[in-house]
Amino acid sequence: MPDAALAALLSLTSHELRHPTGVVRGCLRTLDHDPSLNQRARKVIGDAIRAADKLVSLLDEVGELARLTDEAVPLTLKLKSMSLRSVLQQAVQAVELPASHDVELDVVADADVRRRVDEVRMRAAFCTLIDVLARAQTGAATIDLRLTRSKSAAYVWVTPRSLLRGKIIDQPVDVARGGFGMLLPIAGAIIDAHGGKLRERWIAGRWSGFIVRL
């Protein structure tokens, strides 16, 4: 399916599902205010409300992905010259990691690089990459956001510090990785919109995070 048709389908899906989802959520909230509900019924309704709220968030993400990938209506980015090290530091400060994960974050940049970026969108993209990788850790870990440069490009490697050695293979991002809604495809689309590229990085046969070329 052409990208323009896929973007239109995503936009239509988001639009068509909003009304019935809003009705369901409204009915649940009305029931939640019924003083005659027993504790069990109130818990069931509360769980359903949270599920409906999550569905609304997913529809927002579907709509955002449609806007980012719609070639018929080019995305307008609010570009300005930015220190990439500053953007990475902002992402580290902004990302909200679950308390159950013992993960530290560190920006490693021997030399800074400036690029014209949409600060808000690029920060959000890196927050997603950090969050996805952090939640995959099974124990205490330090995740590096390692900024390097070549003559033609800047690279940001988002990876656990413990996985820095071995044979490196870059692969397309697995957008079907569950638990994050549309956020990972959105991050990829944001990076694409900046003329960059997002890939997964594997070391010695183990997934070791992401590599971003800008």
Q: What is the pLDDT of residues 45-85, one digit of tens each?
A: 999 999 999 989 888 888 888 888 877 677 788 999 999 99
Predicted pLDDT at 3: 61
The verdict on 128 and 44 lying in the same domain is no
**pTM for the whole structure:** 0.83
Structural domain of 93:
79-213
Cβ-Cβ contacts under 8 Å for 10 (sequence gap 6 or more): 62, 63, 65, 66, 69
Predicted pLDDT at 2: 47
Which among 14, 48, 69 is the end of a domain?
A: 69
Q: Is 52 a domain residue?
A: yes
Report the first-to-last Cα separation within the chain, whole angstroms: 27
Question: d(Cα 13, Cα 64) in Å, to the nearest integer?
Answer: 12
Question: d(Cα 191, Cα 197) in Å, to the nearest integer?
Answer: 6
172-183: average pLDDT = 83
Q: Which residue has the higher pLDDT, 191 or 175?
A: 191
Instruction: Look at residue 164 and tell me whether its pLDDT is greater than 60.
Output: yes
Predicted pLDDT at 178: 72
Judged by DSSP in three states, 194 sits in coil
Enumerate helices (H) and strands (E) in the chain, giving the number of each: 5, 8
**135 Rama class: left (phi>0) / alpha (psi -120 to 50) / beta:** alpha
Q: Is 172 a domain residue?
A: yes
The verdict on 117 and 192 lying in the same domain is yes
Q: Which of 89-93, 112-116, 140-144 has the lowest mean pLDDT?
A: 140-144
